[in-house]
Amino acid sequence: MKAVLQRISEALEAWLYELNERDHFLFRFLEWGNDLYAAVIFRGVRRRAARIDESIAGRDRNFRMRFLGPEDQAMLSQLFARFDFDYLPPHALDSDSARKLLERPSYLPFGLFRDDACVGYCLVRLIAPRSCFSGVWSFPVPENAGLSRAAVKRSGGFTDAEGLVDFVTVPLDNLASKKGAEWAGWETLRANRRFFLLRRPIPPRRFPFAR
């Protein structure tokens, strides 16, 4: 029975992943309901995330990581226009989408800065009832060495403190990202036909309406 449930869970995970990729109306409906939930249950989490503006240590230099607000739309749109990665963020990258994601109650968006230039993006997606999915995207140039690892480690520390069960999905052929997530504290749970599913150790539970 356990093996059957495991296969069902893996198939459901892959199906939702594919619905998101296709921007399917069913996935948009689920996201709409999750945003309503987040506006109430996660309001304190988002308020505390908005205070993050700090230095994070890369391999040979410090970077800045800060929460992004509506005033950052133009900057974020310019960053997205440069994204040519094989694996992109789980949302559209046009200017209007950038505006919407900065206002979504279930999204915690962070900019990653080298000096004054925004060179990366970290996103924590809050999921009912008390979970999240995290991801980071930065340009693979020598000047950014260690940035992605430092950012995901900092976001993981935040989600731990908030009592969130934090997951990461990594495509099966993206072993470098899997290794980086494991370095930052995630543990591989399983693989389905599309991706590895990783999870941070489950933190102590917090009261969901924490201020």
- Return the pLDDT at 23: 64
Domain ranges of the chain: 2-199
Per-residue model confidence (pLDDT) at position 4: 47
Q: Would you say domain 2-199 falls under CATH 3.40.630.30?
A: yes
Q: What is the mean pLDDT of residues 157-184?
A: 91
How many Å apart are CA 182 and CA 5, to the nearest integer? 26
Tell me the whole-structure pTM to 2 decimals.
0.87
Give the Cα separation of 46 and 69 in Å (integer): 11
